[in-house]
Amino acid sequence: MATVNQTPRRFEQGGVLTIGADTIAMIMPGTITVMPALEEKIEFHDRDVPQVPLIGKRGYGEINLQLRGGKYAASEMYTALQAAASPASNVTKVFAVEIKIPEHAAATTGEKFSCTQAFLTSDGLKWNTGTEADTVDIKLRTVDDVVAATY
């Protein structure tokens, strides 16, 4: 068996997050979470004996983060994420998301998580007062898989 997970990485050492065409600044340290879209597992028993679960429907992935509160004007992230798609299409606005994690501070190579169809959930944008700064919580779901790759 191969040895895995040998090289720790830190987003805080120069990582970059983009949503759509916007590079996101003022991310609260330690708040980015990425969960892949996995199939639901249907657990069941046969005469009180656990069985290997069946594969159910595919779920959505999730990307969550918290920002220090910045401006709230139309050109800023708080308002930009609320942009609606055309009412004629009846489909919500989707964004490409990319999270780059460098190999080390000042590195030009590293790994990235990316997806092309992330959308703001109905409870996915929350403004909070804070002690150091106001914060904005962002919760996105992904239709496509969040793919890991090198850059």
The answer, yes or no, to whether residue 83 has pLDDT greater than 80, is no
End-to-end Cα spacing for the chain: 26
Cα(111)–Cα(144) distance, rounded to whole angstroms?
19
| pLDDT averaged over every residue in the chain | 88
Tokens of 14: 């120069």
Locate the DSSP E strands across 5-134.
16-19, 22-23, 33-35, 39-42, 45-46, 49-50, 54-58, 61-68, 95-102, 110-128
The answer, yes or no, to whether residue 60 has pLDDT greater than 90, is yes
- Quick check: pTM over 0.85? no
Give the pLDDT confidence score for residue 74 in this predicted structure.
Answer: 61
The answer, yes or no, to whether residue 85 has pLDDT greater than 70, is no
Beta bridge partners of 128: 135
